[in-house]
Amino acid sequence: MSPVALSVALLAIAASFSNSLANAQDGAVATFPATPLASKHFAYPTGLPYQADSEHLLRGTQTGYNQCNSTTEGQNSLCQTSFVNSADDFCLWAPIEPNSLISNTEGEEVAWCTKPGRGTRVIPEGTLKGIQFMRTPDYVQVVGFIDQTKINIADGDFGGELDPHGADLRGNPLGGLMYSNAWSGNNNTFQQVIEWHNFMGGNAFCIKVCDPSKSHAADYCQHIFDRIGCAYNAPNNAQTGVFESCQGENQDFPGVYTTNGQVVTYTQPPESLGAISTMPYQPRVPASSNCVQFQSTALFAALASVTAAPGVSSSSSTSASVSATVTGSATGSAAVSSVTGSRGGSAASSGTPSGTAQGANATSNDASVVMMSGLVSFIGVVFSALFLS
Ligand SMILES: *[C@@H]1O[C@H](CO)[C@@H](O)[C@H](O)[C@H]1NC(C)=O
Ligand SMILES: *[C@@H]1O[C@H](CO)[C@@H](O)[C@H](O)[C@H]1NC(C)=O
């Protein structure tokens, strides 16, 4: 093929992601699907395909499936159909096998949810250490602190970003689909979410799903700033030990900031240039209002019956206890949820009553949780430090 023909072919590939052209060019396994994942639309639940990505391409085949039901339900589920609905009803993407690194498994993550009933895994009790659900005009977002070992993320992994794009447009995980009832006006009516992002790692997470009817969904749920974490992609005031649902204003588009009256878009350096050690801006945390705090046991009652996989080493196995704050009560009753997990799945609970009012953070002997709760006002910094290190 002449250089001119070759570049024409490459342009055509870039423009259309055509497998046939890619194959004709070098005979290798193609990289791109005929249709990017973010362009595939399926009604829930009737229109769900067995796999949204049925291709055999460079990154292999989709690991799990999108048709999830009572047969697939449970801690071995490979369901890759996920939801973000409300403070008590959302899923996170996490690995299939214990002790995994997000970077090694990003193509294969499965849905772990706060509610059973949709054919997925359930987030084990004791995983969630504090969450903030935020509803804004253009998106809903959940940010929180976790014991990530309970959802198969290796202790110490700073993780990375999952989104429906990826370098090959097949998504991470491949074929992962997202739905929400946040804008349908009916809890039983789910819309497909086309633009979303989920950062997992550093014992924290953020997941944002953007209202598909809004013109800036792709901007608020931007997926290209995968190295700068929750602080820059989902600026927030989430606190460990606090479980709350809020309304808020929209954040700035991730990576876009205003300095000296000028709107600037950040350019993320490639990994080949090494760690990102400085940032030219601090993200603006948007105003929020009407935050309602809950006891974690009230939000996540369904999780009590689920334990982490046997043999999962937990960083907070001995005496972690999470208590929710009780707003507006100086003598809030203790809300202690027992923690199971580790120790071969046997119960290892020890409740520490701690339900005082405002400012109560996780009551725990776990050094890392205590350290985090001492830094609640600098959560953004903590997040960015994690992702920049
Ligand atoms: C349940 O889901 C699995 C996995 O997608 C699928 O193979 C099976 O056919 C489904 N069962 C029913 C009854 O829909
Ligand atoms: C819909 O879900 C929300 C959040 O879980 C809940 O507060 C509300 O009561 C539900 N509405 C109905 C009508 O069930």
Chain centre to alpha carbon of residue 165: 14
Supply the residue whose CA is at minimum distance from atom 14 of ligand 1. 69
For residue 89, is pLDDT > 50? yes
Contacts of 267 (CB under 8 A, 6+ apart): none
Is residue 378 helix, strand or coil? helix
The predicted model gives 180-189 an average pLDDT of 97
For residues 186-194, give the mean pLDDT: 97
d(CA 224, CA 181): 26
Q: Is 2 a domain residue?
A: no
pLDDT band at residue 74 under the 50/70/90 scheme: very high
What separation in Å is there between the alpha carbon of 193 and the centre of ligand 2? Answer: 19
Query: Of the bound ligands, which one is closest to the alpha carbon of residue 294?
Result: 2
Residue for token digits 């499936």?
A: 65
Residue 52 covered by a domain: yes
The answer, yes or no, to whether any atom of ligand 1 lies below 6 A from the CB of 69, is yes
Q: Residue 212, preceding bond cis, omega within 30 degrees?
A: no
The answer to whether the bond into 49 is cis (omega within 30° of 0) is no
pLDDT, one tens digit per residue, over 359-385 is 222 222 222 222 222 223 333 333 433
| 189 Cβ closer than 6 Å to some ligand 2 atom | no
How far is residue 351's CA from residue 336's CA, in Å, rounded to a whole number? Answer: 6
Tell whether ligand 1 has an atom less than 6 A from the beta carbon of residue 72: yes
Q: If we measure between CA atoms, which residue out of 95, 83, 66, 79 comes closest to residue 142?
A: 83
What per-residue confidence (pLDDT) applies to 309? 64
Predicted confidence at residue 366, as pLDDT, reads 25
Q: How many CB atoms lie within 10 A of CB 18?
A: 16
Distance CA 331, CA 204 (A): 29
Whose C-alpha lies nearest to ligand 2, atom 12? 187
- Distance of CA 228 from the midpoint of ligand 2 (Å): 34
CB 73 near ligand 1, within 6 Å: no
Between 388 and 110, where is the model more confident?
110
Half-sphere exposure of 209 (CA within 13 A, CB side): 24
> Which domain range does residue 55 map to?
33-382
Instruction: Give nearest CA residue, ligand 1 atom 5.
Output: 67
Kindly give the pairing relationship between strand 121-122 and strand 110-113: parallel
Q: Is the CB of 86 under 6 A from ligand 2?
A: yes
The string of pLDDT tens digits covering residues 91-132 is 999 999 999 999 999 999 999 999 999 999 999 999 999 999
Q: Looking at the domain assignment, is residue 15 inside a domain?
A: no
76 ligand 1 Cβ < 6 A: no
Which DSSP letter does residue 345 get?
G
Atom of ligand 2 nearest to the CA of 187: 1
> Would the CB of 147 count as within 6 Å of ligand 2?
no
The ligand with the least distance to the CA atom of 62 is 1
Q: Which-ligand-closest: CA of 298?
A: 2
pLDDT digits (tens, 9 = 90+) for 233-274: 999 999 999 999 999 999 999 999 999 999 999 999 999 999
Is 28 a domain residue?
no
Atom 9 in ligand 1: residue holding the nearest Cα? 67
Q: Tell me how far CA of residue 276 lies from CA of 158, 205, 229, 335, 388, in angstroms.
A: 14, 20, 11, 40, 5
Of 156, 113, 139, 129, whose CA–CA distance to 303 is shortest? 113
Whole-number Å distance, alpha carbon 244 to ligand 2 midpoint, is 15
Asked if residue 80 is part of any domain, the answer here is yes
pLDDT at 28: 78
Residue 386 — pLDDT band, cuts 50, 70, 90? very low
| Of residues 156, 154, 152, 158, the one with CA closest to residue 98 | 152
> Is pLDDT at 355 greater than 60 in this prediction?
no
Residue 325 has pLDDT above 50, yes or no: no
Q: Residue 94 CB: number of other CB atoms within 10 A?
A: 26
Name the residue at shortest CA distance from atom 4 of ligand 2. 86
Distance in Å, CA 149 to ligand 2 centroid: 30
The string of pLDDT tens digits covering residues 203-222 is 999 999 999 999 999 999 99
Q: Is the CB of 109 under 6 A from ligand 2?
A: no
Tell me if 46 CB under 6 Å of ligand 1.
no
- Cα dist. 374→56, 149, 240, 241, 371 in Å? 49, 22, 9, 11, 5
Cβ neighbours of residue 84 closer than 8 Å, sequence gap 6 or more: 90, 91, 140, 142, 178, 180, 182, 193, 196, 207, 209
Instruction: Determine, yes or no, domain membership for 6.
Output: no
Per-residue DSSP letter, 101: -
Contact yes or no for 337/304 (Cβ under 8 A): yes
Q: Is 220 domain-assigned?
A: yes
What is the total count of domains within the chain?
1
Q: Confidence band (pLDDT; 50, 70, 90) for 27?
A: low
Query: Is residue 195 pLDDT above 90, yes or no?
Result: yes
- The alpha carbons of the chain give a radius of gyration, in whole angstroms, of 21
Is 22 domain-assigned? no
Say which residue, 23 or 358, is predicted with more confidence.
23
Question: CA 100, 104, 109: angle at the middle one, nearest 5?
Answer: 70
